[in-house]
Structure 1
């Protein structure tokens, strides 16, 4: 019964394929022992390779040593390679300012990953069961969570972690171990209400079962399954939008504001989470408040603002996108300089815009075009190459009222300091021809004598 149920979970969720190498987290308790034994039986039916990994946390003294001894003997009896490591987990947690549960979990997954990579395996199997699922959902409810959190524990993760016995309840697992005379070790700390999960397991769930619902575990898990289905649908819609609204490159994830500003908040939240996950691999340190802070950068009046996030991430609001990056960018240090190739579209990476140019004969020129956001220059007054760059110290431009420093002009026009390095200048040799979007040098303006007109647009 237990073995067949495990196989069904594996098949339904495509957890294991022929030829997989699977690292099994083996504590020596009933869950992990049942997991190892059922996978061992599965290895007799399909070609998979199993490795066991055990971490001695050095918390329980002699009992911890006996756990390690039990694990090694069990693996020896099943001819399964076994890796055992002892680490002073309390000291590690103290040194890294972590809670005992969190620190132990981090070390376990770190060791699992090391063995997986060393042995050329591709999966890590963890012994979470149905009771763990219900406990996790309750913990997340009490901490405050959204739909994604109410999904509970996932059957598989993108990093290769799988949970083949997630559909088995603890009672069935213990009965299986008894039936096969596996004699798993019992961690006495699991029977003490000293950790959050233990309190839920030993106090809250039994109370809910006796006072409200005898099948509370199944009810909570069914709720999680239902919400997982709803969440999967929303995520599928997010994926469609993300194809064009979010791009991740070596310098970070770009979220294009115009594409998502009218989306439902549920979509926006997930797009931000996805962008962060693509950089960090997970979002365990990201809270709802962090997502909200990123979304607060979306209005246009937040342009060129910066936000610091956990794990060394920064969010920047540029002209029409939000950049989430592990690289710290100082706005005043931005510098760019491009030769303008007439008649072609040129992407200006630093401002994430495209420069377009074309020559127009005076006879074909519509003076109403002055109103549509483009700039027009007398091309015959331009000598040699022209370039597009941002401001430099000492830059000046000649206007009707005389020559003016661009710095003073920006101040007078009330251009925000953080925006000034992003404003494009058209330069002919050392002469500022125009400040795109603001002013044109009086010597290069189109007049009645102009024969050829250079049209410039930056979108």
Structure 2
């Protein structure tokens, strides 16, 4: 077994000479075999080995005895040891989380503290090839997303160093044989024999059936895991590039959007991953448990349909709206009802709008600019003061060349303005309530063509 593990370590560059290695040791056969193996190569590799053990206080005296056992073995083998007891039940209650998550959080917090204290380079775990197979099988059954179908990583960054798993190349049976060959009598956790736990069910009921068809199943699955990990790493890099190029994000309110034509022109593998990057951005990497592949299918179906102004609901009040050639993600709770904003605009003067922009009013003696963000008219044709407000039910406006008037709703539709933007759109009226300017879209008056010393210029910025 030593040659197999050593080749695996060298292949994946898991260890370097002269480094400090912390070893997570529970007292079971996997971690005890790992501790003994690293001790056996300590001189050859010139590494410092330190054992870490955690009592989760979930099995009373029995779990405390596990900690004491590891400490005693470390004394016998002349290995540095650091142990601790953590209050899993208290952490679980205070944070309203499950037992396994609470235990993991406290365990890894302790590991991180020791990595920093010892300035360690590696934290080694005893996960083996059967653990990998179980993990991959469970994900195969539960996950509909290929990017989530990955196994236990051989190594990853952690607390200024790396987590490493040198035993992913061997089976649990091989580790048990290793313990027996070296006179190691590990502690056994009776809960490992109960099929009530999902992982145990796969290990006891499913894995033996698959191994009867392929005795090297652990190697096959490890190769699959590494291949998927390499592919996913490349695809994630490409997806992040696409995200920067295609997706427009906002923080206040929290939103994301993209032009549908730009998005669907990219490879479908990137589309799916960018979709997940958008969700991670909006949910701050805390994805809801009820978010599933069904939502992804709904979104992809929405992109494929010709319907416009369609909306679908995601968890936690996230809305996904198709507005013509745009897809917009926003939270309903952040999008207020019609703002009912109304301010008087003095000339000269300015009004700060709810969206953070403003409209500035000045007197001008000549026309200096004319664009979609500027409105110029003759003072003699207005009834002052001017007003800035949001739209109201039944609002209509007219302009030169239009026979009659037109609803603002229809103007928004023609301009393909998304639904959630219409209620906050600034509308400029005179004191009679006549709409002069639907900012950026329509102007009541054409550019004045007569000389006057009394132009009023409005500028939206």
Same fold (TM over 0.5): yes
**Which TM-score band (shorter chain)?**
0.5 to 0.7
Task: Say whether the 8 Å CA contact 1:255–1:322 is kept in structure 2.
Answer: yes
Aligned residue number for residue 356 of structure 1: none
Q: Which residue does 1:264 correspond to in 2?
A: 267
Summarize deviations over 1:218-243 as a string: whole Å, max 9, x none. 22333333333433343332132123
- Deviation at residue 42 of structure 1 after TM alignment: 7.4
CA contact (8 A) 2:249 2:255 kept: yes
Contact 2:169 2:222 in 1 (8 A): no
Report the equivalent of 1:34. Answer: 33
What SS does the corresponding residue of 1:197 show, helix, strand or coil? helix
Is 2:292 aligned against 1:292?
Answer: no
Which stretches in structure 1 are left out of the alignment for 5+ residues?
339-347, 353-358
In the alignment, the residues of structure 2 paired with residue 49 and residue 434 of structure 1 have an alpha-carbon distance, to the nearest angstrom, of 75
2:106 aligned with 1:111: yes
Cα deviation digits, residues 285-312 of structure 1 (max 9, x gap): 3421233345566579665957342xx5
2:206 corresponds in structure 1 to 204
Work out whether residues 412 and 422 of structure 2, in 8 Å CA contact, stay in contact via their aligned partners in 1. no
Residues 257 and 321, structure 1, Cα contact 8 Å, conserved in 2: yes
Provide the residue aligned with 2:238 in structure 1. 237
Q: RMSD of the TM alignment (CA)?
A: 5.3
**2:281 pairs with 1:307:** no
CA distance in 2: counterparts of 1:153 and 1:414, whole angstroms:
51
Distance of 2:35 and 2:239 partners within structure 1: 37
Structure 2 residue matching 1:332: 3-state secondary structure: coil
SS of structure 2 residue aligned to 1:307: strand
Which residue of the partner structure matches residue 164 of structure 1? 165
TM superposition score normalised by structure 1 = 0.68
Q: Does structure 1 residue 322 correspond to structure 2 residue 328? A: yes
Per-residue deviation, 1:152: 1.9
Check 1:264–1:337 CA distance in 2 against 1; reply closer, same or farther (3 A cut).
farther
Q: How does 1:49-448 map to 2 (within 5 A)?
A: 50=50, 52-56=52-56, 58-59=58-59, 61-75=60-74, 77-88=78-89, 92=92, 103-116=98-111, 118-119=113-114, 121=116, 125-157=124-156, 162-165=163-166, 166-210=168-212, 212-246=213-247, 252=254, 254-258=256-260, 259-278=262-281, 279-281=283-285, 285=289, 286-295=291-300, 305=311, 307-309=313-315, 312=316, 314-317=318-321, 320=326, 322-323=328-329, 328-332=333-337, 350=355, 377-378=375-376, 391=390, 399=398, 409-410=407-408, 418-425=420-427, 432-436=435-439, 439-441=442-444, 444-446=445-447
**CA–CA distance in structure 2, aligned partners of residues 107 and 409 of structure 1:** 57
**1:363-400 CA distances to partner (integer Å, 9 max, x unpaired)?**
x99xxx9xxxx5885456599xx999761679977636
> Residues 143 and 455 from structure 1, CA distance in 2 versus in 1: closer, same or farther, beyond 3 angstroms?
same
Identify if the C-alpha distance between structure 1 residues 69 and 412 changes in structure 2 by more than 3 Å, giving closer, same or farther. same
Pick closer, same or farther for the CA change 1:351–1:274 going to 2, 3 Å: farther
Tell me, in whole angstroms, the C-alpha distance in 1 between the residues paired with 2:387 and 2:228: 52
CA distance in 2, matches of 1:79, 1:50: 5
| CA displacement 1:82-120 (0-9 Å, x = unmatched) | 22225349x959x95x7xxxx343123211343245446
**In the comparison of the two structures, how many residue pairs are matched?**
417
Conservation of the 8 A alpha-carbon contact between 2:341 and 2:389: yes
Aligned to 1:343: none
Residue pair 2:139, 2:148 contacting (<8 A) in 1 also: yes
TM-score (norm 2): 0.68
Partners in 2 of 1:387 and 1:198 — Cα distance?
Answer: 73
CA contact (8 A) 1:248 1:254 kept: yes
Q: Residues 39 and 321 (structure 1 numbering): CA distance in 2 closer, same or farther, change over 3 Å?
A: farther
C-alpha spacing 1:439/1:245, structure 2 compared with 1 (3 Å):
closer
Q: Distance in 1 between matches of 2:339 and 2:47?
A: 56
The match for 2:12 is 12
Superposition deviation, residue 135 in structure 1: 1.2
**DSSP-derived class of the 1:80 partner:** strand
In 2, the alpha carbon distance for the partners of 1:2 and 1:276 equals: 44
Please tell me whether the aligned partners of residues 123 and 163 of structure 2 are also in contact (alpha carbons under 8 angstroms). yes
Three-state SS of the structure 2 residue aligned to 1:268 is: helix
> Matched residues in 1 for 2:51 and 2:341: separation?
53
Structure number with larger C-alpha Rg: 2
